[in-house]
Amino acid sequence: MSTNEKPSKKPGEVETTGHVWDSNLQEYNNPLPRWWLWGFYATVVFTVVYWILFPAWPIGGTFTKGLNTITFMDDGEEVTTHWNTRSLLARDMQTGRHAVRQREMLERVGAMEYDEILADVDAMSFVNAYAKGSFGTWCAACHQTGGAGVIGLYPNLRNDQWKWGGTVAQIEETLVLGRNGYMPGYRESLNSEQLDQVASYVLSMNGFDLDADAVAAGAEIFNGYLGGCYQCHGMDAQGLASLGAPNLSNNLWALVDVPGAANDEERVRRVAAFVHDGVQRVMPAFADRLSETEIKVLTAYVHSLGGGQ
C-alpha cells in the first residue's frame, strides 16, 4: 500500500466527484466519450425513422402501421399491405430465391418418371438434399436418421427385405396409403414343441444348422394345414408383398432379433416366441400430409437407400 504517493494529476486538472478516500484516493468525473455520445444520438434518430417506416405505436384499438409496404400473392390476387412479418414470410415462400429454386426443382422432379429420376444425377442430388429434411421430419422418428430402422419395431429401409415390396411403385403405395401389417399369434394352435419346430425350420432356411428332425417336423407344420404359414409367406417362404408377408429365407431380420442372439437355442426361442405372440404394426398414410411430388421425392430417396428393387 502506498500512502505517500501523490495522485498522477493534481486536483483541479480534471473534475472529480469530490469524494476522497484514504486521504488522497479520488474519483474522476470525466464527460462521456464523444463517440459514445454520438452513437447514442444515432440510435435515437434510427428509432424515429423506424417508427415512421414500420408498425410501432399503439393508438386506441389499433396501431401506427408505418409507411413501408409489402406485396405478395394471396389466393392468386396481388395484395399490398403495410409491412409485417407474416406478409414477409408469404412473400418469401412465393418469390424468395431459395423457395423459387426449390419449387423449380420440385416441379422438374415431379414431371419425371422414376427411372428418369434415379438415372439423373442432378435430380438425385436434389432428391437427397430435399429428403434429408423431409425424411428427417416425417420418417426418421421411426425408421431412424439413416433409414436403418429398429429391429423389432421399425423396418430397415437400407437392406433387401421388403415386406410390402421394394419397387418404386410399391414404395410409393406404402407412403400414400400406409400399411397395416398383421400376423396372428399361434398360441392356441401350436404347442411349445411345435413352435420350436417351426422356428427351427425357419432358421434352417437362413443357413442355421439345427436338429434335422425338428426342421422336418417344422417344415410340415409350416407348409401344411396345422400352421398354414405358407398361405402368406409362400411354399418356399419367399414372401408375398401384397399381404406384407416377408421373405423368411434371406437371413434379414426386421422383427425378431436373431442377429442379436448368442446361440442356436436362443435363436429358436426368439423366433418361437414371435410366432407364439404374433404381431401387428402400422405404417401411417402420408397422402393427406405430403404433396404428390414430396411423396415422389421420398420414394426415390428410400428406393436409393440401398435395397430398392
Residues that bind another protein (CB under 8 A): 55, 57-58, 61-63, 72-75, 79, 81, 84-90, 92-93, 96, 98-99, 133, 137, 140-142, 144-145, 150, 153-154, 282, 284
Strand positions, DSSP E, 114-204: 179-183
Per the CB < 8 A criterion, the answer to whether 245 and 234 are in contact is: yes
Q: Which residues are CB-neighbours of 38 under 8 A, at least 6 positions away? A: none
Q: Which is nearer to another protein, 50 or 116 (CB)?
A: 50
* Cα end-to-end span (Å), the chain: 85
Taking the complex as a whole, the smallest distance from the CB of residue 183 to another protein amounts, in Å, to 17
Distance CA 293, CA 290 (A): 8
CB of 293 to another protein, least distance (A): 14
**Residue number, 153 or 235, with CB nearest to another protein:** 153
Q: What is the dihedral of CA 212, 216, 217, 220, to 10 degrees?
A: 170
The distance of closest approach from Cβ of residue 57 to another protein in the complex, given in angstroms and rounded to an integer, is: 8
Closest to another protein by CB, 44 or 121: 44
What's the Cα-to-Cα distance from 88 to each of 54, 68, 69, 273, rounded to whole Å?
A: 13, 12, 10, 58
In the complex with another protein, the residue whose CB is nearer, 31 or 207, is: 31
Three-class SS state of 65: coil
Cell of 79: 395484395
Minimum distance between the CB of residue 226 and another protein, rounded to whole angstroms? Answer: 32
Paired residues of 184 in beta bridges: none
Comparison of 6 and 19: residue with beta carbon closer to another protein? 19
Closest CA to 284 of 130, 132, 167, 143: 143
Between CA 160 and CA 309 the distance in angstroms is 8
Provide the minimum distance between the beta carbon of 264 and another protein in the complex, in angstroms, as a whole number: 27
CB of 41 to another protein, least distance (A): 17
Which residue, 212 or 289, is less far from another protein as judged by CB? 289
CB count within 10 Å of CB 261 equals 17
